[in-house]
Structure 1
Amino acid sequence: MDIAGNKEASQAINNYIRTFNLHGMSVEDAKKWADEDYITRGRDNWYGYDMQTVFSLKRADERVISFLVTASSYMGGAHPNTMEAALNFDPKTGNRLTLADVTTDERMAVKEITNAILEQTKQEKYTGMFFEGYESSVGDLLTEDTWYLGERGFHVIGNEYIISPHAAGILNFVIPYTEAGFLKEKYTII
């Protein structure tokens, strides 16, 4: 990514992205694992391995640059695995933005975001999708790696196995900017 006229910020963001790894292992380690598995299984029983990371730009303006990062892999097992994360940067400095940077009061924001997600989970489209007692785990969804500022609002990623099983897929909860009073005004789009 090249931020017009700001080489330092561009370099800082690109350096961060180059080292960001959701897979939990390097490509070299994955290849070694695949090679060993190929030797063990043999050609006739080989099913192949796959590992990829996709960065999707969700918002880019003079206030924020937000990416959704999707990492998927198949390293044997019952099914492929997919995980999402988010990265938010200040386009002037290239520094990663934290929840404390974009909210008026981080503690209050966490409560409001958690309550908004809980409210959304009660929608009919989510009937039967969550683990029993998931309400006590909703707060675990929000981390520095699971929120981003999109065109429509404040997003929180709901990765598998936190409040829902693999079959539910990755969830994306959106709090429209008009309802995100916890955000500093400069980060909203109205």
Structure 2
Amino acid sequence: MLAKAMLLAASLLLVTGCKLELPSLGGNSISGPLKLETLTFERAGGPQCPDVEGTTPENIRCASLRLTYPNIVAAGNPAAATAINQYIQTQLLEYSDPEGKPPATLEELASMFIADYNSVPEAMGLWEMERDVEVSFASKHLVTLTFRESGYTGGAHPFSGQRYVVFDVNTGKQLTLNDLLIAGYAERLNAAGEQAFRQARGLTAKASLEEAGFWFANDTFKINTNVGVLSNGLVFNFNPYEIAPYAMGPTEFTVSYDAINDLIPDTSLLAALAR
């Protein structure tokens, strides 16, 4: 009972929203029909959280959750905005309790995360989970969302990851490379991707990927499906552990539209960006 009382006393919930002007981010323009607001959800709970009197770095026992994400106010049409918002919520709520039940709300997600912390008697210090969703690029036809997650739940080191998701801004449909490029694109995209990958990692054209520490099958480069659309090309990301040890970190690189122009049909939503 005391632990529950302390948990309730230490828990806090904050949901804020602010209108977001649509600026240029990192040289990738944000334009078109998309309008959004940015929301933040925060909650912390545990026997000894920072807002409890007497908490020090030595005795802190707390779990904290922070989510920052866009609410799409307008897209090409209301149905598209609804579809994108539903996808964002689904990804934010990716979690489950010990019985495998997923949370239905952000409040339930926070409660599950805090409960997991409190169920580990030896858990000390601070567990953290942060999820950030950002509109990295938007145009008349396309929008790229960047999903980032980081935190610590015990173990040797923190966790982190990043992935991209592309939508048709006018329909709300999630798009893949198969929707954007010609049939049979893989071989030529892999070749262009390998050049960009090697440049990002400082590898020569003849250097062995395996000897450099990467885990590609048969020492042969292959792009993944973690891809976003930007104004200057397709951006790919390999997360830690995906193709290399954790210590080597993630690898991100951009394949310019000039390098793959012949893979983009005139009917593709990419054509307006690439031509």
String of CA shifts for 1:79-103, please: whole Å, max 9, x gaps. Answer: 1111111111111111111221111
Aligned to 1:104: 182
TM-score normalised over the length of structure 2: 0.58
Alignment of 1:1-190 (within 5 A): 1-4=72-75, 6-21=77-92, 25=96, 27=109, 28-37=111-120, 39-41=121-123, 46-105=124-183, 108-123=184-199, 125-127=201-203, 130-131=212-213, 134=216, 136=218, 138-139=221-222, 141-143=223-225, 146-181=226-261, 182-185=263-266, 186-188=269-271, 189-190=273-274
Higher helix share: 1
Give unmatched runs, 5+ long, in structure 1: none
Distance of 2:214 and 2:228 partners within structure 1: 27
Distance of 1:149 and 1:132 partners within structure 2: 25
- CA shift for structure 1 position 70: 0.7
| Greater mean deviation of Cα atoms: 54-63 or 113-122 | 113-122
Tell me, what secondary structure is at the counterpart of 1:56?
Answer: strand
Aligned length: 180
Higher RCO by CA contacts (8 Å cutoff, separation 6 or greater): 1
Tell me, what secondary structure is at the counterpart of 2:150?
Answer: strand
Give unmatched runs, 5+ long, in structure 2: 1-71, 97-102, 104-108, 204-208
Give the greater-gyration-radius structure (CA).
2
TM-score normalised over the length of structure 1: 0.81
Tell me, what secondary structure is at the counterpart of 2:122?
Answer: helix
Q: Which amino acid aligns with 1:54?
A: D
Distance of 1:74 and 1:54 partners within structure 2: 15
- CA shift for structure 1 position 22: 8.7
Distance of 2:79 and 2:215 partners within structure 1: 47
Relative to 1, partners in 2 of residues 1:73 and 1:22: Cα closer, same or farther, differing over 3 Å? Answer: farther
Q: Which amino acid aligns with 1:52?
A: E
Distance of 1:4 and 1:133 partners within structure 2: 40
Higher strand share: 2
